[in-house]
Chain A
Amino acid sequence: GAGVSQSPRYKVAKRGQDVALRCDPISGHVSLFWYQQALGQGPEFLTYFQNEAQLDKSGLPSDRFFAERPEGSVSTLKIQRTQQEDSAVYLCASSLGWGARTDTDTQYFGPGTRLTVL
């Protein structure tokens, strides 16, 4: 079946612009995650949704970052007044369950959106 999809795949923004990144999780997956991956580094956790509820947003770098999943399916990560340090790949992942304790809670990742802020 279809995996996690993200759009756009590439985004170039001028400093100060707002951007919106979209994630379509695997159908029926309860949990949705956003990660930020800087060049040459591993992904870092940003936020976690269980259905439409945002249960953890501790990884969001600043109040310029906002995520939502209003109907418990598609999610949008919005970055306001982008800065150069926001340049990174933003990865979305979804899982059937709501933990990471068993194989059924494996997180499936999308291809990511590469954001470049000039």
Chain B
Amino acid sequence: SQQGEEDPQALSIQEGENATMNCSYKTSINNLQWYRQNSGRGLVHLILIRSNEREKHSGRLRVTLDTSKKSSSLLITASRAADTASYFCATDEVDSSYKLIFGSGTRLLVRP
């Protein structure tokens, strides 16, 4: 079974626009991570945010975490065609921190 739900399931935007994806989860966590998956390729780690952090930036990525609502968002600014991919959030479990539990993903299409 999967921990989280991502919203929206699919998103289509124009190059240069911002893309926002949301993730909700069910249980207490140590941290939350976002991964990107291009078609036919493996998952690439984007960013990790700890449960005691509220916001984190990395390049064009901005992640927020609200542990009271058990939700996170990923913002990609100034999107590029190369950002086209599926994006997954992944949480761990407090008692088994090695085990990543993935959401169902958001499929992002950035139109040139």
Query: How many residue pairs between the two chains, A and B, have CB atoms under 8 Å in the bound complex?
Result: 74
Task: Please tell me the number of chain A residues within 8 Å of chain B, measured between CB atoms.
Answer: 30
18 example contacts (A-B, Cβ-Cβ < 8 A) are as follows A33-B98, A33-B100, A41-B105, A42-B104, A43-B100, A43-B102, A44-B102, A48-B99, A56-B99, A91-B42, A100-B30, A101-B92, A106-B33, A107-B100, A109-B35, A109-B42, A109-B43, A112-B42
| Chain B contacts for A93, CB-based, 8 A | 43
| Chain A contacts for B40, CB-based, 8 A | 111
Task: Please tell me the number of chain B residues within 8 Å of chain A, measured between CB atoms.
Answer: 27
> B residues within 8 Å of A by Cβ?
1-2, 30-31, 33, 35, 40-45, 48, 50, 88, 90, 92, 96-105
A103–B99 contact, CB under 8 A?
no
Question: In the assembly, what is the distance between CA of A55 and CA of B99, in Å?
Answer: 11
Is A31 an interface residue when CB atoms closer than 8 A count as contact? yes
